[in-house]
Structure 1
Amino acid sequence: MMKWRALYEKSKHFLLVSLLMIITFCFAMFQGSFVSWFVFFTVSPFLLYSLIFLLVKEDVYRVERKIEPSRVECGQSAKVTVNVERKTYFPFVYMTVEELVSSEELVKSKMQGTSTVKFVGFTKKFEWSYTLENLPRGEHRFLGIEMVFCDFFGWAQKRVFVEKEQMVLVYPRVKEMKYVALQTKFDVGTMMSPYSVVKDTSMAVGLREYVPGDRFSWIHWKSFAKTQTLQSKEFEDRQSQELLLMLNPDASPLFEEKIELAASMVTAIVRGRGDISFVSTGDKTKVFPLIQSDKQLDQVMHHLAAIKPLENATINLRGQQSFKHIATLLYVTSELSEELLHTLANVVKSCICFVVSEQPPILTDNAQRYKQVQVVYVNPNDYYHLFAEVMKP
């Protein structure tokens, strides 16, 4: 049945044109009047053109798609310009061009301008542009371009599909946050904070071999002038090496807001020269250790752009090597439970749990007994002063 349907789709236009030629000729022969022959000779050029139209093989030589800007964040717009060059000079009357995508988010967003009508004629090269408005976060893939060539009256049509895959990566929106360096402490002292985000670069205690990713300001140039070997300064380490940011991947109405908060926090701390790592949990655990360079930050943002919510996600925090050398775990979630607090309290010595919610969470008496877990309410619409809120007693 499918074979017959495919054969019919390929031959229906040829059968239609042939049938119209037979009908008009028979009408002129049997009628025999001036009007009937006038109709036949008037329609014949269009029918002959349609017949040649169906016999000519049309190929597309080149398709290029340019997307501007190259980096797009959630909610922004992107301009897409498509250039098409065909091989033949056969004069088609017009054609419709449509972009084919595999992203449900793009389909739901009702893309405007992804299809257009072009009057071809003898033209071999043409282009058109359209704008994708309010792009959602994620990986969106273009499959190709479908072109439908038509004759004067639509009696004959020819479809040409050109495969042109291209991925558009829409990063999560990064909101500006006022960075306030959390207080640090040495191994002694009583009036200090139990966590640290900034390495004390004012107290160099030694030298070590240069490691890719070390900051430019850490290089010891005097030793390089003598030995021609790059060495980095070793600084006084405050209580711990770094912070660890973790995101709850469980599906929720505020999942996109959690992504934006995590992206904004990582960006603010890295730009503030803090030491932070990121761990993505879910079906597979992915670790981004010690994010310092722009390249490492872009890898995290790429992951946050592609991450998808998980239904009934199970988060296994035990046995993770990433927790063994951190001072404080920064955990981003939208739902708070006593079971989660119990798990966090047993994994790390210090944890700040950021709860993204429309209303501040209500802690039970049992939940308040986990002193090593600090619960911070986050308004999804405004967390510019979030770091300052954390420092409040």
Structure 2
Amino acid sequence: MKKWRALFEKSKHFLLVSSLMLITFCYAMFQGGFVSWFVFFTVSPFLLYAFIFQLVREDIYSIERKIEPSRVESGQSVNVTISIERKTRFPFAYILVEELVGSQMLVQSKIQEKDAIKFVGFKKAFHWSYTLDSLPRGEHRYLGANIIFYDFFGWAKKRIQIEKEQIVLVYPRVHEMKYATLQAKLDVGSMMAPYSIVKDTSMAIGLREYVPGDRFSWIHWKSFAKTQTLQSKEFEDRQSQELLLMLDEGASPLFEEKIELAASMLKAIVQGRGDVSFVSTGTKTKMFTSIQGEKQLDRVMHHLAGVNPIENAEVRLRDQQVFQRVATLLYVTSDISDELLHTLGNSVKSCICFVLAQQTQAQSDVIKRYKHIQVVHVDPTDYYHLFTEVMKP
């Protein structure tokens, strides 16, 4: 059935042009006179062009899509430029370029000039630009483009579908935050540490990626001479303040705000030289350990870009050893419940729950049983002083 339909689409324009040529010629022959022959000779060039149009085989040599900027955060706009090069110089009156998209978010976003009409003539290459405004977070997928060639009056047309898949990855929006080191849990008692880990610099146990802010004496110059890449010495940890950030991926009206808060906290901790790991509590628990450099942080941001809300999500703390190693668990959610407090209270040594809500929720009686759990209510419109507010007595 599809083959017959495709054959009909290709042949109907050819039959239309042939019929018009025959009708105008017969009209001039039987009617006679100046007017009838004038109509015939006036229409003939366009009909002849449409007839040749059907016989010419047109192919697309290449199609490229350039998206700027390459890194996009939620709410930002991007400029898309499509470059198309065809193999022949046969003159076409105009063509219609139509984008094929496979992302519902991309379809619903405010796209201006999604389809474009271009007057080609003899040109082999041409460009088309448009703007995508206020892109939402996620992976937006282009599938290709439809290119339709027309004659002057639309009597003949050719359609070429190009498959050119490309993904526009929109990262979560990152808000600026003032970082302050959280309380460190040491071997004996607790204290305020200026750095997330107090290191024993008398013995290096390995190398890691250089992070801006590392001391000059930590740079491993021998490896730099070989690879031309800065690396810092990794020292043995004497006192740990490793943080573990966990994101509640349950469906919520403030789901996007939860993603943005988690992304902002991770970036602030990494830039503040803190030691942090990340756990995503989705359908499959995914963990990113020891996020210390921009490359590791970018992998987490890539994961957060594709996170989707989960209905009736449950917090499952499967690996108890992981939670025993960390000093403090940072849990980002929009809804705090007694069941959640019981689960966290029995699994971790220290926990700070960041609860996103438009209004401050009433304090639960269960929280009084767990002195090592702190509940912090977060205003979705202001994240800047979050860490400093947590450190207030």
Common fold, TM-score beyond 0.5?
Answer: yes
Provide the secondary structure at the position in 2 that maps to 1:178. Answer: coil
- Structure-1 residue corresponding to 2:316: 316
User: Offset at 1:368?
Assistant: 3.7
Provide the secondary structure at the position in 1 that maps to 2:159. Answer: strand
Provide the secondary structure at the position in 2 that maps to 1:330. Answer: strand
- Structure-1 residue corresponding to 2:360: 360
Letter in 2 for 1:380: P
Provide the secondary structure at the position in 1 that maps to 2:91. Answer: coil
Deviations 1:247-267 (A, max 9, x none): 011111111100000000000
- Structure-1 residue corresponding to 2:325: 325
User: Offset at 1:40?
Assistant: 1.5
Query: Is the aligned partner of 1:117 residue 2:113?
Result: no
Q: Cα gap change, 1:26/1:139 in structure 2, threshold over 3 Å: closer, same or farther?
A: same
Deviations 1:31-70 (A, max 9, x none): 2232122211211111111111011111111212111111
**Any residues of structure 2 matched to 1:240-251 within 5 Å, and which?**
240-251=240-251
Letter in 2 for 1:356: L
Provide the secondary structure at the position in 1 that maps to 2:198. Answer: coil
Deviations 1:282-306 (A, max 9, x none): 2211111011011101111111111
Q: Cα gap change, 1:185/1:329 in structure 2, threshold over 3 Å: closer, same or farther?
A: closer
Provide the secondary structure at the position in 1 that maps to 2:66. Answer: strand
Asked if structure 2 preserves the Cα contact closer than 8 Å seen for 1:60 and 1:85, the reply is yes
- Structure-1 residue corresponding to 2:51: 51
- Structure-2 residue corresponding to 1:273: 273
Q: Distance in 2 between matches of 1:4 and 1:222?
A: 70
Provide the secondary structure at the position in 2 that maps to 1:198. Answer: coil
Q: Distance in 2 between matches of 1:220 and 1:36?
A: 93
Letter in 1 for 2:41: F
Query: Is the aligned partner of 1:37 residue 2:37?
Result: yes
- Structure-2 residue corresponding to 1:25: 25
- Structure-1 residue corresponding to 2:171: 171
- Structure-1 residue corresponding to 2:198: 200
Letter in 2 for 1:160: I
Provide the secondary structure at the position in 1 that maps to 2:23. Answer: helix
Q: Distance in 1 between matches of 2:218 and 2:380?
A: 43
Letter in 1 for 2:124: K
- Structure-1 residue corresponding to 2:208: 212
Provide the secondary structure at the position in 2 that maps to 1:28. Answer: helix
Q: Distance in 2 between matches of 1:185 and 1:302?
A: 31
Asked if structure 1 preserves the Cα contact closer than 8 Å seen for 2:196 and 2:241, the reply is no
**Any residues of structure 2 matched to 1:88-103 within 5 Å, and which?**
88-103=88-103
Q: Distance in 1 between matches of 2:288 and 2:350?
A: 20
User: Offset at 1:196?
Assistant: 9.6
User: Offset at 1:8?
Assistant: 2.1
Q: Cα gap change, 1:8/1:187 in structure 2, threshold over 3 Å: closer, same or farther?
A: same
- Structure-1 residue corresponding to 2:106: 106
User: Offset at 1:164?
Assistant: 1.6
User: Offset at 1:321?
Assistant: 4.1
User: Offset at 1:220?
Assistant: 5.7
Provide the secondary structure at the position in 1 that maps to 2:184. Answer: coil
The runs of 5 or more residues in structure 2 that have no matched partner are none
Of stretches 181-190 and 5-14 in structure 1, the one that deviates more from structure 2 is 181-190
- Structure-2 residue corresponding to 1:237: 238
Query: Is the aligned partner of 1:71 residue 2:71?
Result: yes
- Structure-1 residue corresponding to 2:149: 149
Letter in 1 for 2:235: E
Asked if structure 2 preserves the Cα contact closer than 8 Å seen for 1:197 and 1:276, the reply is no
Letter in 2 for 1:378: V
Q: Distance in 1 between matches of 2:324 and 2:215?
A: 28
User: Offset at 1:320?
Assistant: 4.5
Q: Distance in 2 between matches of 1:205 and 1:85?
A: 60
Letter in 2 for 1:153: F
Letter in 1 for 2:196: V
Deviations 1:151-209 (A, max 9, x none): 0001111111122211111111100001112233543346x46x9971125xx364143
Provide the secondary structure at the position in 1 that maps to 2:365. Answer: coil
Q: Distance in 1 between matches of 2:133 and 2:101?
A: 15
Letter in 1 for 2:279: V
User: Offset at 1:4?
Assistant: 3.4
How many residue pairs end up in the alignment?
A: 385
Asked if structure 2 preserves the Cα contact closer than 8 Å seen for 1:282 and 1:315, the reply is no
Provide the secondary structure at the position in 2 that maps to 1:176. Answer: coil
Q: Distance in 2 between matches of 1:342 and 1:371?
A: 12
Q: Cα gap change, 1:221/1:379 in structure 2, threshold over 3 Å: closer, same or farther?
A: closer
Q: Distance in 2 between matches of 1:81 and 1:231?
A: 41
Asked if structure 1 preserves the Cα contact closer than 8 Å seen for 2:206 and 2:235, the reply is no
- Structure-2 residue corresponding to 1:183: 183
Deviations 1:274-329 (A, max 9, x none): 00000112221111101101110111111111111122223311335421310111
Q: Distance in 1 between matches of 2:232 and 2:91?
A: 69
Provide the secondary structure at the position in 1 that maps to 2:208. Answer: coil
Q: Percent identity?
A: 63
**Any residues of structure 2 matched to 1:284-303 within 5 Å, and which?**
284-303=284-303
Q: Distance in 2 between matches of 1:170 and 1:88?
A: 37
Deviations 1:103-124 (A, max 9, x none): 1111101311232111111011
Q: Distance in 2 between matches of 1:253 and 1:236?
A: 41
Q: Distance in 2 between matches of 1:205 and 1:390?
A: 30
Provide the secondary structure at the position in 2 that maps to 1:132. Answer: strand
Q: Distance in 2 between matches of 1:43 and 1:214?
A: 73
Letter in 2 for 1:350: S
Q: Distance in 2 between matches of 1:244 and 1:185?
A: 13
Letter in 2 for 1:23: I
Asked if structure 1 preserves the Cα contact closer than 8 Å seen for 2:267 and 2:297, the reply is yes
User: Offset at 1:354?
Assistant: 0.6
- Structure-1 residue corresponding to 2:137: 137
